[in-house]
A and B are shown apart, each in its own frame.
Chain A
Amino acid sequence: MSAPKAPVNPNLKIMAGALVCEDCELIGDITIGARTVIHPKARIIAEAGPIIIGEFNIIEELVTITNKSSTDANSGKVLIIGNNNVFEVGCHVEAIRIGDHNVIESKAKVGSKVEISNGCIVGCGCILNMNEALPENTVVYGDKCERRIQRERPPAQMLQIDFLTRILPNYHYLMKPNLNVNVRAPVKK
């Protein structure tokens, strides 16, 4: 395997402890929090404004996270992704804001006018493209994107993060963290 040397993104901030594979595409002003795992081939594009990703998130292969301006009002706004979120393989996220403990399952699509609160699950292949804010603990599932509210939010994936931080460095080149934990940027809520 040869190390593809991507041009260094001057606006990329990776906290110490985060695990970002080199083989992913990070464009624009992006901040990645501690203990967040970003798999190879993920794409994070800060197009209309910066993207701030919190701690303990898992962003899997072929995930696309874009900060897109759906309206002029949103242009330049920061896309903040909270803590303990899981973005499964191939999902496509353009949301305005994402809270904590959410799961975006494989091939799901979250449109640019959606705001996701906490503890939500967007099921496999579900598409959200309305102008809406998902209430807490919403589950969207099935081919008709049916919804229900669950009592408990999905559990944090600590074991999986530990496992990935152990395994991924064996097979992939990593980007070097360039920010110390002590001086981390405040993650806005």
Chain B
Amino acid sequence: MATFATVDLVKYLCTCEKKFPICRLYLCKHCLKLRCIDCVQHEVDTPYCPNCLEIMPAQEAKLKKNRCSNCFDCPVCGHTLMTRASGHISPNPEDPNKSVTKKTYYLACGFCRWNTRDINMLDQTVATGNWPMLENPHVKRINNLLENYKLMAQVEKADRERKKYVKRRSHLYLQDKFNLSPSVMKRKGLSSFSSLSLKEGDKTIEDLEPSVPVESFDPLPNDYYTQPAALEKTTKLVHRLSVPEFQPEDVSKLHPINKHLIMKKSLRCRECEHNLSKSDFNPCSIKFKIQLTALHWVPEVRIMTPSTFTYNKETLVTLTMSNPSVFNTTVTLSQIENETDVDYCTAKVELPKKELVLASRDEPSMHVYEDSSQAHEFKDDPKLIVFRKGNKIGFVVKVTPVVPQGDVKICFLLKHEFRNTTVAALQSESKEPEIKWLEHKVYLCLGTI
């Protein structure tokens, strides 16, 4: 858990020159480079509802405005609403002497206890669906505008094609913005004459009635100044902004909000176009088909204990390093030669000169307590390596701050062996996976003086 909790003390330099904690980085096994969330390509796999876990195809999701039709959020506090059943006794229409129990359903929030009866919404006879929807008062105008933008985009595209692809790529975004269907985009590739198919008389841009700017507001009614504010009847800004199309001002106008869909996302390396992360298709599953997080391949450096520092005085700092790989891994640490950036390096550091050998990660034996049997196996220098336990070692670095005050930051180059198991299995029949050496720049913030 420490990996995720104290995320910003130890950072690795991504290939794109940004610094991230290791649990936020990916290692592309094909380029053998670190990738971060900002330098990979994000792709939407499947939109799905986080409550009912129903998968919705992307097109359908777009039509439904990325919202689930069966699940609702509380308009007051935002929690998911539950369907509650209540019995309701009414006289039997066939035999007036008998009565039948009818089950009716309403929506209720388990957190703030809001329910649909609060706003006098009628109970439903079926448990799911069928809830009355509010009609957006501006839907006609919005559709009109969209229609016009689409036409405008087509006209613009036609113009561009006449100019023989002056800028080929730039208008892709434009089409996307105005919601042009993919088939229209494909047609572009077929022939440059496709613009002719858009005949002038087909559809013309309608004269949109321009929107009217609001020039002046009515003055506030006198009640506003004389009556005490009814805070319990007025909605808050959050309530209004969560439904921008209605913006209810009175609590009695609050309406259940259709739940937003979320999506399964996959990440792709921009250079080699291989997947870095791909989740299972099924929304119920939290597994990944492909997950190349750097945490699984790159040795993780951590600060063991906080130390106190004095200006220009050497302090011993214990760092730990753990090996995620199933092979013994050799690591060397070296100075970054021309690191002059004072922002990330405010101390001189003396690193272990010898190679450090990290034992393999062996999941079953990790939970068994073993005492120092490994020390003999690896012939460790006790001055250098403080302890060794399973796949983890603790080693000492000497840090001398060169600034009188502020944060003590050091950086070094971490060079480690990497055995590419998957690619080796694909490419050759040889048993031993090929050993590659990878280099990463590591930046640590050790504390303040």
Contact = CB atoms under 8 A, between A and B. Distances in A.
A complexed with B: yes
- From A139, A146, A148, residue with most partner B Cβ within 10 Å: A148
Interface of B: 76-77, 111-115, 117-118, 232, 251
Given A123-B111, A141-B113, 13 more contacts: A121-B113, A123-B112, A139-B112, A139-B113, A141-B77, A142-B77, A147-B232, A148-B76, A148-B112, A148-B114, A151-B117, A152-B117, A154-B113
A123 B113 CA distance: 10
A148 B232 contact: yes
A133 interface: no
A75 interface: no
A187 interface: no
A150 B251 CA distance: 10
Nearest to B120: A151
A185 to B, nearest CB: 33
A149 interface: yes
A146 to B, nearest CB: 7
A149 B114 CA distance: 9
Nearest to A149: B232
Contacts of A149: 232
Interface string A141-182: 110001111111010000000000000000000000000000
- From A121, A147, A149, A154, residue with most partner B Cβ within 10 Å: A149
Contacts of B232: 147-149
B87 to A, nearest CB: 13
Contacts of A154: 113
Interface of A: 121, 123, 139, 141-142, 146-152, 154
Contact of B118 (A121, A123, A146, A150): A150
Mostly helix, strand, loop or mixed at chain B's interface? loop
Contacts of A146: 77, 112
A101 B111 CA distance: 18
Contacts of B113: 121, 139, 141, 150, 154
B449 to A, nearest CB: 37
A178 to B, nearest CB: 38
A154 B77 CA distance: 18
A148 to B, nearest CB: 6
A142 B117 contact: no
A142 B115 CA distance: 16
B114 A142 contact: no
A85 to B, nearest CB: 16
- From A123, A147, A151, residue with most partner B Cβ within 10 Å: A151
A150 B114 contact: yes
A154 B84 CA distance: 14
Nearest to B111: A141
A151 B112 CA distance: 12
Given A147-B232, A148-B232, A148-B251, A141 B112 contact: yes
Contacts of A150: 113-115, 118
Contacts of A151: 117-118
22 contacts: A121-B113, A123-B111, A123-B112, A139-B112, A141-B77, A141-B111, A141-B112, A141-B113, A142-B77, A146-B77, A147-B232, A148-B76, A148-B114, A148-B232, A148-B251, A149-B232, A150-B113, A150-B114, A150-B118, A151-B118, A152-B117, A154-B113
